[in-house]
A and B are shown apart, each in its own frame.
Chain A
Amino acid sequence: MSASLAAAPALAVEVAGLRLKNPLIAASGTFGYGVEYEGILDLSVLGGLVSKGLYLEPRDGCDVPRIVETPAGLLNAIGLQGVGVRHFVRDVLPRLVRFDTAVIVNVCGDTVEEYAEVTRVLEDAPRVDALEINISCPNVKKGGMAFGGDPRLTAEVVTAVRRATRRPVIPKLSPNVADIALFARVCEEAGASALSCINTVLGLAVDVERRRPRLAFGTGGLSGPAIRPIAVRMAWQAARAVKIPVIGVGGITSAEDALEFLIAGCAAVQVGTANFVDPGVYARILAGFAAYVARHGLARLSDVVGTLQMPGAARPEAPPETGG
């Protein structure tokens, strides 16, 4: 992999005050804490990475089976198994210091207060560039999607985290809502610096022989190429609803996939399930970006952001600027 390709000036973007060498970020829950990829992938080719979700204390997660493959997708109910934020700060963060990539920590909580407390623990830690707020995990009984599905609780969590940190705050929105634009606006008003759109889509796979769910938890979160059109649509809706940047995530496996999100209005993108499928995915996407920039004669890749030309009839609402 060419480090120069990853850091080509034409690929640099700025998101919520973060200067990323390129718009590719590894998505939370699909990249461990980053260190697992040592030796397999040079983390310095990434624009950034988002850690696995962290609570105050270590978590066991859901019972097994936890994953099942579905058409072009992966249904999971991991349940945020994790080492806890203090262990992360003490033992994991120091190992990330030598990599030239943005480190975004995914913050979880069972209560509003826990989100704030996790944030405070991170506030004194070096090498944390931003916080992503997990208000959209479908696989926990408390917190997670329960916060992200309620505008009032969403506002409370984002406000609490915002007050506890000086760093950029990036709520990760759930697709399991009727109107994501509403939640995007609520987050913006509560002080969010950017938004990640979207988390996994709530799903259910059934073992027809046993007439039971195929996952021990019952329902799960669907990811992978199967959800990409949903993700692009929702990221587009969110991006139109707010002035803060949107980071698109959902089913990206190629440069073309990533470009869909950028053109739809996203300032950067996250790569998730593809990390499991192919650790070489970043090299392929970066090469595809370079080819696209050259083919379209662009000064920089970010020139495509928000250039989607939608037919008027397909707009669910009038664009606010033109009134047309």
Chain B
Amino acid sequence: MALNRDVPLVGKEPLEGAYVLLTFRHPEVAREGRAGQFVMIKAATAIEPLLRRPFSIMDVDPRRETFTLFLKTVGPGSRALADLRQGETAACLGPLGRPFTAPEPGVEPLMVAGGYGIAPFHLFSIELLARGVRPRLFYGGRGAGDLQVRQPFATMGVPVTLSTDDGTLGHHGRVTAPLEAHLDAAGTAGRFALYACGPEAMLQAVARLAERRGLRAQVSLDPWMGCGIGTCLGCVVPIQRAGEDRPKFRCACTEGPVFDARDVVWRGQTASVSSRERKAEVGA
């Protein structure tokens, strides 16, 4: 059950560039937070920006009643959070949304992360390893500086394949290229499930790849969110589930952010929900 709390900052670890790890005390998020879920959070004293921001839960520590977020300071909301000092508080509602679901036994989870989309896969790896399942990570970014969370996966014994658009670290090119190579190498013997979090173009590429190869994929979407609990209806995405004759706008905050990739109607893919409605209105 999500709970609204003022949460003190109890840990801050600046990383390279604009990245930072922030740890807050929130007993319910620490106890119940699952990989793929998120919190709505903003620095308590900040008037601007107005709205809280959604961030994936990267780690939880039920014993210390804390959770950790991985931030890239890209705007005023993330900057105000990153500027918090120890003991200062943020207003936080969580845990929210639907988490990733673990694969069936015998299926290898392949996690595909783009940039700060790495956050949920840290917690997901911990959850999977606790069930005796070893995931594999494909971690891509624009440059080496965008691949900030590597050591924890090495420590956990999760195999990581890095890639960068500019070739400064790992494979030179898209994160999906080494993923495809891994699937090819396994041949028909391999059984895989894909999990993706990152920029929409990457998610869409993973969804296409999964469809082509007949794999199941779960994608974590990241639209603008107003409230996190399904009341503002600002974060809806067109979703068409099996058996439905047309897409329906569904809240990413309550019915996602993790969706089955097959159900997502991607931008530019087909007519969206309301463009159909508009056509109906003008009699087209």
Contact = CB atoms under 8 A, between A and B. Distances in A.
Interface stretch (B62-70, B81-89, B118-126, B230-238): B230-238
A40 B224 contact: no
A273 to B, nearest CB: 7
B232 A67 contact: yes
Nearest to B273: A60
B231 A78 contact: no
B232 A78 contact: yes
A279 B93 contact: yes
Contact of B51 (A37, A63, A65, A277): A277
A73 B50 contact: yes
A280 B281 CA distance: 41
A76 interface: yes
Contacts of A294: none
Contacts of B234: 65-67, 76, 78
Interface string B198-240: 0000000000000000000000000110110111111111100
Contacts, number: 100
A278 B41 CA distance: 10
A275 B231 contact: yes
Interface in B218-269: 223-224, 226-227, 229-238, 248-249, 254
A258 B82 CA distance: 32
B40 to A, nearest CB: 9
A74 B226 contact: yes
B224 A61 contact: no
Given A36-B231, A79-B274, A81-B233, A67 B226 contact: yes
Contacts of B229: 32, 36-37, 40
Interface string A41-76: 100000000001000000011111111110111101
B48 A67 contact: no
A277 B52 contact: yes
Interface string A287-319: 000000000000000000000000000000000
A74 B50 contact: yes
Interface string A224-267: 11000000000000000000000000000000000000000000
A71 B236 contact: no
Given A30-B232, A74-B50, A277-B50, A141 B281 contact: yes
B274 A273 contact: no
A64 B236 contact: yes
A61 B1 contact: no
B49 interface: yes
A66 B223 CA distance: 10
A57 B281 CA distance: 15
A225 B50 contact: yes
Contact of B48 (A65, A71, A279): A71
Nearest to B91: A278
Contacts of A69: 49-51, 224
B272 interface: yes
B272 to A, nearest CB: 5
Most buried by A among B50, B51, B52, B248: B50
Given A64-B236, A81-B233, 16 more contacts: A36-B230, A37-B229, A37-B231, A39-B1, A40-B2, A41-B4, A60-B273, A67-B224, A67-B235, A69-B50, A72-B47, A72-B48, A72-B50, A276-B232, A277-B52, A278-B4
Q: Is the interface of B mostly helix, strand, loop or mixed?
A: loop
Q: Is the interface of A mostly helix, strand, loop or mixed?
A: loop
Nearest to A225: B50
B277 interface: yes
B160 interface: no
B90 to A, nearest CB: 12
Nearest to B254: A36
B68 to A, nearest CB: 23
A31 interface: yes
B18 interface: no
A76 B273 CA distance: 18
B129 interface: no
A73 B50 CA distance: 7
Contacts of A62: 274
B49 A64 contact: no
Closest 9 interchain pairs by CB?
A67-B234, A32-B231, A276-B227, A63-B274, A276-B226, A279-B4, A60-B273, A39-B1, A78-B233
Interface in B1-56: 1-4, 42, 47-52
Given A60-B274, A72-B50, A78-B232, A280 B4 contact: yes
Contacts of A279: 4, 93
A279 B40 CA distance: 11
Contacts of A39: 1-3
B231 A76 contact: no
